[in-house]
Amino acid sequence: MSIPKSSALVRAPVFPPAANKPEAYPKEPVFQPGPSLASLWASAGLIRTDITRGFNGLSGAADGAPLDLHLRLLSLFTDQQPLSRYAVYVWHADAAGKYSVFNRLDINYLRGIGITDQRGRVNFRTVYPGTYRGRPPHIHFEVYRSLDTLGLGVAPLIRSSILFPDMVSRSVYTRNPAYADSLDKYAALRFQLPVLNPTGDKRAVQLASTSASSNSTLRASLDIFINAEE
């Protein structure tokens, strides 16, 4: 499949109308119970903002369209108060749809832990995620009440994923040669289709509002409402 050489990104802002609604963020089932990998790496360099490079002595840098990810944790109750000092672990596939550690044992990039500030905000610098196994692009995340609970191996308050608008994914995959494999997989999605109707798809609450913040970087933002009393 021929891919244009231009790496220009989506220029028009895309704000899914059903995103950031004050409702409980959907959880994903836990297929492998036990401490998260993040608990093993919390003191080994995983606490960072830029997750595009390896940590703890491993080299390597992820190729792909730059993405600034801005998340805000809010309580589903108590007047939607921001949740500060919570630990957020994120990880996702690279442009080719491969995961570090699992698919590529020699690298550990595209993984990181952030601590929310007083406004419940946490930011990561990464690349736009690729597609694999019939699933649309997504970023996994786990939320912990504190960095201490994460380090102790306590179960997360929520484990889920962030989704992206279909038109943004198509544009990134078509314009950037690093996503050649993901473009083919995205065109053949069968197992799980992207959110094509934000007003009628319950997954729309997981859609990050995504736009081009510059000629070379995408900005994605999302409010995540969780039940902090659990």
Q: Tens of pLDDT along 82-137?
A: 999 999 999 999 999 999 888 777 889 999 999 999 999 999 999 999 998 889 99
Tokens for 100, please give them.
């570090």
Binning pLDDT at 50, 70 and 90, where does residue 5 land? very low
- Write down the pLDDT at residue 103: 79
Tokens for 164, please give them.
């992206």
If we measure between CA atoms, which residue out of 19, 11, 9 comes closest to residue 209? 19
Distance CA 75, CA 82 (A): 6
**How confident is the model over 190-198, as a mean pLDDT?**
89
**How confident is the model over 13-34, as a mean pLDDT?**
71
Locate the domains of the chain by residue range: 37-226
Tokens for 172, please give them.
């990134």
Radius of gyration, alpha carbons of the chain:
17
State which H helix or E strand residue 91 sits in: strand 87-91
Binning pLDDT at 50, 70 and 90, where does residue 17 land? low
Q: In what order do the strands lie in the sheet with 209-212?
A: 121-127, 66-75, 218-226, 209-212
Q: How long a stretch of residues is the chain? A: 230
What's the CATH fold of domain 37-226?
Protocatechuate 3,4-Dioxygenase, subunit A (2.60.130)
Q: pLDDT tens digit string along 152-191?
A: 988 899 999 999 999 999 999 999 999 999 999 999 998 8
- Write down the pLDDT at residue 104: 76
Which of 10-14, 77-81, 152-156, 209-213 has the highest mean predicted lDDT (pLDDT)? 152-156
158 contacts: CB under 8 Å, gap ≥ 6 = 25, 27, 142, 143, 224, 226
pTM score: 0.90
Most distant CA pair in the chain, distance: 52
- Write down the pLDDT at residue 31: 66
